[in-house]
Structure 1
Amino acid sequence: MSSMMRYLAVPNAPIFRLYFSGITKICSLTSLQYLNLSYTDISSLSIGLKGLRKLISLDLEWTSLTSIDGIGTSLPNLQVLKLYKSHVFIDARSIEELQLLEHLKILTVNVKDALILESIQRVERLASCVQRLWIIELSAEVLTLNTVALGGLRELFIFLSEISEIKIDWKSKEKEDLLCNSSPCFKHLSSIVIIDLEGPKELTWLLFAPNLKHLEVAYSGSLEEIINKEKGMSISNVHPDLTVPFEKLESLTLRGLPKLKRICSNPPALPSLKKIVVERCRKLPLESFRDTNSSKEVDE
């Protein structure tokens, strides 16, 4: 491999075993700027990898990596760092590391702790880089998501968590002068997956994702409705542009929701919907999907 190589992608199907010799060869690519190690079994950032100081983009999604210690000083030019569904779970130490990456523009991360997620959102320069967020095994009475801090969020996955209520905030300490002109919604959030979430009876906060295209909710035993009428009205009274839910939704999957009775009080038109999958939602009437031209898979 030439030391002048700028881009390297390692095979990602199904799992590529990155042996020591492979690491050594990669580390010799001193001009490397883009490195994709996703779906490999890399478990640590070797000293050699940390020497790739010209690296701009590093993809470590779906790897066995457990720590990013030292990345802030070793790879100072990183603009893109992808950790989604790796074994790196953001903590206070890794937040400090990430803040050292002054050029960071795109970040994908995993979080297990509600306080850590709050800490990330308080550092808006860092939070604004987050495009994919995996929340796993998180337990909290209330979880707050800030639409200003997480303004770049595109994909949200909540898995195996216990959260009684998810609240949306759009206040910004760093951008108070812009609040009057800012939108309270997640402008770029297009995909939300919620699996094995216990606690909430409704998900009315989804109104704050008006550009949502893909929604999957599964195995959340406490869920009774997606949009609660009273909470929905209280939101639309303050934000009239958030009145109609799921206008851009293209794919909807509802699975294993035994208490789910309705999508919302008035069945939404869902004009953009192309595919519906409903399985083991015994209390959900088919009338919930009126006026849709989408393909339907319904398991009674």
Structure 2
Amino acid sequence: MEKLIEELKGLQHLNILSIPIKGMSSLERFLSFNLFRCCTQALELSDFGVKVFNVLCLENMEHLETLEFLNCGSMKEIKMEKLHPWVFSSTNYTSRFQTLSTVRIFECNKLRDMTWLILAPNLSYIGIFGCKKMEEILSERKLDAVTGVIGISYPKPFLKLETLHLFRLPKLKSIYWNALPFPRMKLIHIFGCRGLKKLPLNSDSAKGNLLTIEGSKHWWARVEWENEATQYAFLPSFKPLASFKPA
């Protein structure tokens, strides 16, 4: 990584950069160069040995569109801890992850939630795969801490989300604790999430959308709905994954 960083520093007209990084020390070194923070559009963080990762160390990556965590087996938490002592004003706060549109998490087996996603208001794709201890996507308890990070109450999540992939998360119980509006959602794909019995939907959640919900028939039969109106509203949306065994 050190050799690569030195070579990249010599590229005076670097405009776009997509790069995989292994380890926290390499990431810190990478982020110490303003050119890389400004040019990087895609970042893959793999095999990190840290137990706690502060996602706000990435807040100054001005053009980051895609972020992936891969095989971070030691990582128990992705926290949101301010790196600077000042408190953001509620009148001028703007999310530092405005450009982030795609997040993928692979085989991070100690992570229990992804509450930090609340800081990325323009997400269009979320994919979480093979995280054995994932219990919640957004934690109600942890969201209270967001007020301390941004100085205002947390915003409504996932307003621009189009695709949600949740794959082999056996302990997942909740995406969000209340119904949410999904004005742009096109696909919800659920497989191997046997503990997920409720979806954050009501009869108004996806009005006007051609939403598809993919999952096993066995899982779909166990979904608990807010009311019959919601259940009937989403019956036409379901597409069974016939080739898979029951979740």
TM-score (norm 2): 0.75
Letter in 2 for 1:295: T
Match of residue 112, structure 1, among 19, 22, 30: 22
CA–CA distance in structure 1, aligned partners of residues 32 and 169 of structure 2 = 34
Residue 196 of structure 2 is aligned to residue 196 of structure 1: no
The corresponding residue for 1:243 is: 155
**1:70-219 correspondence runs (5 A):** 91-145=1-55, 146-162=57-73, 163-168=75-80, 171=83, 183-219=94-130
Q: Which has the higher contact order (CA 8 A, sep 6+)?
A: 2
Q: Mind listing any 5+ residue stretches in structure 1 that lack a counterpart?
A: 1-90
Q: Distance in 2 between matches of 1:169 and 1:105?
A: 29
Q: What is the rounded CA distance, in whole Å, between the counterparts of 1:264 and 1:167 in structure 2? A: 18
**Kept after mapping to 2: 8 A contact 1:122/1:149:** no
Instruction: For 2:148 and 2:47, locate their aligned partners in 1 and report how far apart those are by CA, in whole Å.
Output: 34
In structure 2, the residue corresponding to 1:135 is in which secondary structure? strand
Secondary structure in 1 aligned to 2:27?
helix
Q: Is the CA contact (8 Å cut-off) linking 1:210 and 1:245 kept in structure 2?
A: yes
Alignment check: 8 A CA contact 2:115 2:137 kept = yes
C-alpha RMSD of the superposition? 2.4
Counterpart for residue 196 of structure 2: 284
Give, as a single letter, the amino acid of the residue that structure 2 aligns with 1:128: C
Residue 171 of structure 1 and its aligned partner are, at CA, apart by 4.6
Indicate the structure (1 or 2) with the bigger Cα radius of gyration: 1
- Asked whether the 8 Å contact 2:52–2:77 carries over to 1, the reply is yes
User: Which AA in structure 1 matches 2:110?
Assistant: G
SS in 2 for 1:283: coil
Which secondary structure state, in structure 2, belongs to the residue aligned with residue 119 of structure 1? helix
- Give the ranges of 4+ consecutive aligned residues of structure 1 lying more than 6 Å apart after TM superposition: none
Check conservation: 1:225, 1:262, Cα contact below 8 A: yes
Residue 21 of structure 1 corresponds to which residue in structure 2?
A: none
Identify the structure with the greater strand proportion. Answer: 1
**In the alignment, which residue of structure 2 is the partner of 1:270?**
182
Matches of 2:122 and 2:199 in 1, distance apart? 24
- In the superposition, relative to structure 1, how do residues 103 and 167 fare at CA in structure 2: closer, same or farther (>3 Å)? farther
Q: Distance in 2 between matches of 1:168 and 1:124?
A: 22
Residues matched between the structures, number: 206
Unaligned runs of 5+ in 2: 220-247
Q: Is the 8 A contact 2:166 2:193 kept in 1?
A: yes
